[in-house]
Structure 1
Amino acid sequence: MFADRHLTRMEEIMRSVRQDFEVALVEFNGENNHVHLLENFPPEVARSKLVNSLKGVSSRRMRQEFPDLIEHHWRAQRLWSSSHFAGSVGGAPLSTVRQHIEQQHPPA
């Protein structure tokens, strides 16, 4: 579903949305059907609001900018499923988490 050009633009959109929340996007990568984000955000930011904003804004902008995706992949005018996974890295070194995200296989 996602080609490299889609992921490049999606990263730009998501970095922009994060500025409104004062959240740092440390690492971004994706595959053809999902993305991985490593974020650093203050405890007062509600993760659910951040995720909803990221999904809503990116879906809307991607549909506007890439009409070819609409024809083949969007159902009910949505890019994302309603679910997401978030995990805490706790004591894991940041370099290990970053390496995992970098090793994803983005589409050509």
Structure 2
Amino acid sequence: MGLKRASHAVYDTRYHLVWAPKYRKCILRDEVREYTKKVFREIGERYEFEMEVCEEHVHIFLGFPPRYSIGDIVRIIKSTSARKIFRRYPELKEELWGGELWEGGYFVRTVGDKVTKEVIKRYIRYQHDEKGSQLELF
């Protein structure tokens, strides 16, 4: 990502985020998964993040200007994506018992210079072993 400049700041922020659909339902399959990736790409264009969508959870690697908090970014991504996904796939509401798309919480880890964008991207791409269980980052 490297150093970025804003009007009153120079920054290099890097975060690894993980969250899941409500009830950890495996709803992010096939067409829904591809559409979810498309929605995240649209949202993330201005925040420069890499991501992967699994059937049961989402991994995102991103950096953003310091005028935003991590909570702001998560709220933007979750709310915008849920609105668009439910609009396109209203049947998901029924599968989630009429509720929300995403679980309320999330995991966040700051990523320093030792863990590069390429390391996180590789982890995100290969984060499942043959049995499909989640691997540890470190």
Which residue number corresponds to residue 10 of structure 1? 36
Moved more, 2-11 or 31-40: 2-11
Q: Does 1:102 align with 2:125?
A: yes
Partner of 1:24: 48
38, 59, 79: which one aligns with 2:101: 79
> 2:36·2:53 contact (CA, 8 Å) conserved in 1?
no
Residues 28 and 35, structure 1, Cα contact 8 Å, conserved in 2: yes
Gaps of 5+ in 2: 1-26, 133-138
The total of aligned residue pairs comes to: 102
The structural deviation recorded for 1:76 is 4.5
Matches within 5 A, 1:22-61: 22-25=46-49, 27-61=50-84
* Greater Cα radius of gyration, structure 1 or 2: 2
Unpaired runs of 5+ residues, structure 1, are none
RMSD: 1.9
State the secondary structure of the residue aligned to 2:61: strand
What TM-score comes out, normalization by structure 2 length? 0.65
Q: Distance in 2 between matches of 1:24 and 1:44?
A: 15
Counterpart amino acid of 1:17? Answer: I
How many percent identity over aligned positions? Answer: 24
Shift in Å, 1:12: 1.8
CA distance in 1 between counterparts of 2:33 and 2:120 reads: 19
Higher relative contact order (CA 8 A, sep 6+): 1
Moved over 6 A (4+): none
Greater fraction of residues in helix: 1
In structure 2, relative to structure 1, the CA distance for the partners of 1:104 and 1:5 (3 Å cut) is: farther
More strand by share: 2
